[in-house]
Structure 1
Amino acid sequence: MTEEDLRPPRDRAPRPVHSESLRVPVWWWIALVAITAAAAALAAALGARWWMWLLIVVIPALMAWLFITVSREKIEVESDGQGGGTLYAGRARLPFDAISRTAVVPATAKQAAMGRQLDPEAFVVHRGYIPTMVIVVLDDPLDPTPYWLISTRDPEGLAAALPDNHYC
């Protein structure tokens, strides 16, 4: 061991341990391009008027804007390596000390979790095109939110990034 290894770390700033963007599936983009190309080919074959060409440009542009807007949602976990950290879901943040326990919600249980069992005070980041979720149960007497329910493509990775002594 060198002298450098024995010194305490100078920078205890939180470091990202999990990060993902909840992007729309690639096949949505492929379908948008295919439908737009088919509409343009049909319009050209039929000798469409100017307003039809306008629709062929405007509607796919609006759909692309929608795809990009929906895909901006991020899920991130930062840890300071000392047991502290923060979970970010979109614009919301949750410190580790407010987390009671976490559990993976498999695709088979998603409908129940988002249906009649959903607490109206829960914080939800849901994307219908992502089949799995993680539930983060809170232990904060000052917060009326009972739990967070978060869509994620990597539920095991997200659950592992959260405090590991609180799993369901």
Structure 2
Amino acid sequence: GVTDEKSYSENIRNVLKIESKIEGGCPVLLDKEQALVRKGILCIWRQDDKLLTFSRKTRRRQNYCFLFSKHFLVTQRVEKKGEEGYRLLKENGLLSLAKCRIHEYALPEYPELRFLSFGLEIDDGSQSQSKQKLIFIAMSVAEKAQWIADIAQVQRI
């Protein structure tokens, strides 16, 4: 129907607008089957983070994340000619959702973060036992639940 076509072209415009704001572009977003599912702020947990300094440090470490139908983008906000832009993280800034497994409770050893954190385990095709895992910390329990639900739904399609 007409509304399908309208939302389809609206989605393409939306995706292209984000793509144009990413430093150096992001060719995987030019696939017309990519749809933006969710965007928002997540913090990446690093093993060297000491819990005591966590809340103070995280403010600096907020990453702007975009969930598309096939990829998950982890970026930092940058100023680009006076406009807001995004820079993909050098390592794991662009994740193929087909190669990720979600872990709902990523930091069991930190009870206060258990309900805010989730992990994405990355299958890079290698046989090694130690798969790389990115741990994200959401701003609230509700947001974590929404990210997980959206990622899980995208992976089912």
**TM category, shorter:** 0.3 to 0.5
TM-score w.r.t. length of structure 1? 0.43
More strand by share: 2
Greater Rg, structure 1 or structure 2?
A: 1
The structure showing larger relative contact order (alpha-carbon pairs under 8 Å, at least 6 residues apart) is 1
TM-score w.r.t. length of structure 2? 0.45
